[in-house]
Amino acid sequence: MQRYAVEALARTMATLTSKMPSSGPSLLAVVNRLLKRPIQSLQEYSYLVGDTFVKVCSPPLYFRDILEQMDVIGVGSLPIILLTGFFIGGVMVQNTAAQFQRFGSASLTGEVVALALVRELGPVIASLLITGRNGSGIASELGSMVVTEQVDAMRALGTDPVRKLVVPRVLATVIVLPLLTGVADLVGLIGASIVSYFQLAIGPVEFWNESMQSLAVGDIVQGLVKPLVFAIIISTIGCFYGLRTRGGTQGVGRATTSAVVAGSISIIVADFFIGKLLLYYLVS
């Protein structure tokens, strides 16, 4: 009887022990799991960027593909750049007019708008628009090619996908984005001058004189360097997420969303550090 009681107690303890929650993973395992995937993705992205730059500097280059991408990215994005740039300039004047009139400094409108557009708003707004329109398009196009095994077929035929697909998109974006930024700056100043004339009674000649006199060489350099860096970020991130698409059509959607989110965040972060670096060298 005592033996049966001991065996029953042992079975009961074993059952209770098996039902107890197991201890969670260690802190090191959690940190490793959280950081492993981002670090691996960053490593793969760095390899893609390095490979792209190497192949940009070596023949052959597919000039026809570059021209086609310039048409898609540059000409195709021109309407939204014109519309957005015009109203950005008008909104800046509209929101600051009361403060300028309050302190009797309405004549400074052209200076403030010109500096803000050329230094920050023009490059950032144009880059974010290109990210939403073309960064997502690049990711979805390449993702669809990966899902339908066109990229594998390209490799089987001896064509390098990076040289054929990535390099033309990167070069086209680097060429057209500074031009689109300049168009956005010009149209923004036109919109600002129109709103200033009707709301602040500032003549076009006065507005444009103040705007041009306020811009220094450093401001123009800063407004041209940022789009070059942003263009590399937009195109390479779109290609990266497109080429690593997995999971069919749902994977294409996830890649497109990830490309837009990662590209937009990278532009904002890069804008801070590039602005800080350029201000340090140009001012000092």
Q: pLDDT digits over 77-136, tens only? A: 999 999 999 999 888 888 877 776 676 666 677 788 888 888 888 899 999 999 998 988
What share of the chain in percent tops pLDDT 90? 31
Q: What angle do CA 79, 92, 82 make, to 5 degrees?
A: 10
The answer to the question of residue 47 being in a domain is no
The answer to the question of residue 210 being in a domain is yes
Q: Please give the residue range of the domain that contains residue 245.
A: 60-283
Q: Can you give the pTM of this predicted structure?
A: 0.83
Please name the residue ranges forming H helices in 76-203.
Answer: 76-102, 109-116, 122-130, 136-147, 150-156, 161, 167-199
The answer to the question of residue 192 being in a domain is yes
Asked whether residue 19 carries a pLDDT value surpassing 80, the answer given is: no
Asked whether residue 36 carries a pLDDT value surpassing 50, the answer given is: yes
Structural domain total, the chain: 1
Q: What is the pLDDT of residue 58?
A: 85
Average pLDDT over residues 254-274: 91
The answer to the question of residue 20 being in a domain is no
The answer to the question of residue 179 being in a domain is yes
Q: pLDDT digits over 219-241, tens only? A: 888 888 999 999 999 999 999 99
The answer to the question of residue 32 being in a domain is no
Q: What is the pLDDT of residue 268?
A: 93
φ, ψ for residue 157, nearest 5 deg: -85, 0
Q: What is the pLDDT of residue 20?
A: 46
Q: What is the pLDDT of residue 197?
A: 85
- Nearest by Cα to 83 from 9, 184, 162: 184
Asked whether residue 6 carries a pLDDT value surpassing 50, the answer given is: no
The answer to the question of residue 19 being in a domain is no
Average pLDDT over residues 180-184: 92
Question: How many whole angstroms separate alpha carbon 80 and alpha carbon 190?
Answer: 16
The answer to the question of residue 83 being in a domain is yes
